[in-house]
Amino acid sequence: MINLLDIFSMLIFYIIYIKYNIFLASIFLLLSSIFSLLIHIKIYKKIDLVNLINFLLIIFIALNSMIYKNFLFIQWKVTVLNIILSITLLINQFFMKKTFIEKIFEKKINIPNEEWKKINFFWALFFIFLGTFNAYIILNFSEITWIKFKIFGIVILTSIAFLLNLFYVFYIKNKKK
């Protein structure tokens, strides 16, 4: 459900950007993020840390973009969020018994702790890659190219990463048999 709300927010951002400009799109992103967060609270009766960090970044970035009339704040949000996620996963990897990924999926998927650590590390590296790739797009391409990367490229890359993890888990489960 939350993924649909995120997609809804991105589509609104994209449509408003194409029809008007990035600043108005930022306002709509902020409003749709508030709406998504309220729906999430209503359904799940809580807010998870990633959604809270994302929401706070959207508020900070959208407001600064509008105040300073500089869309670079919006562009760098993807990099900042991905680096925060990566650092969080890496800290978790080395200082906790169970990784975040394991805590999320352990009730649905039964694999050894060492495998959870590999998957967690994969996601930490993926988020570093995504943040770095976003920075590369910002620094080397046009605003519209960045918008298309944000809306479509990130979704495609994340879907590929998810599928790779899914195949890896199936491989591990079949290898145990």
Please, how many CA atoms are within 13 Å of residue 61, restricted to the half-sphere of its CB?
24
24-56: per-residue pLDDT in tens? 888 888 888 888 888 888 888 888 777 787 788
Same domain as 111, residue 54: no
Same domain (yes/no): 130, 82: yes
Residue 6: pLDDT band with limits 50, 70, 90: confident
| Residue-range definition of the domain harbouring residue 63 | 1-70
Helices (H), 96-151: 100-105, 113-140, 143-148
Domain boundary, last residue among 70, 102, 117:
70
Number of domains in the chain: 2
Does residue 2 carry a pLDDT above 70? Answer: no
Q: Are residues 25 and 82 in the same domain?
A: no
Residue 34, judged by CB atoms within 10 A of its CB (0-12, 13-18, 19+), counts as middle
92 lies in the same domain as 165:
yes
Share of the chain above pLDDT 70, in %: 97
Q: In this predicted structure, what is the pLDDT of residue 106? A: 81
Q: Are residues 122 and 166 in the same domain?
A: yes
- The answer to whether residues 130 and 157 touch, using CB atoms and an 8 Å cutoff, is yes
162 and 98 fall within a common domain: yes
Is there a single domain that holds both residue 81 and residue 31? no
Mean pLDDT, the chain, as a whole number? 87
Q: Look at the block and give the residue holding tokens 């879907």.
A: 159
Task: Tell me, yes or no, whether 76 and 66 share the same domain.
Answer: no
Q: Which helix (H) or strand (E) holds 98?
A: none
User: What's the average model confidence in pLDDT over 149-168?
Assistant: 92
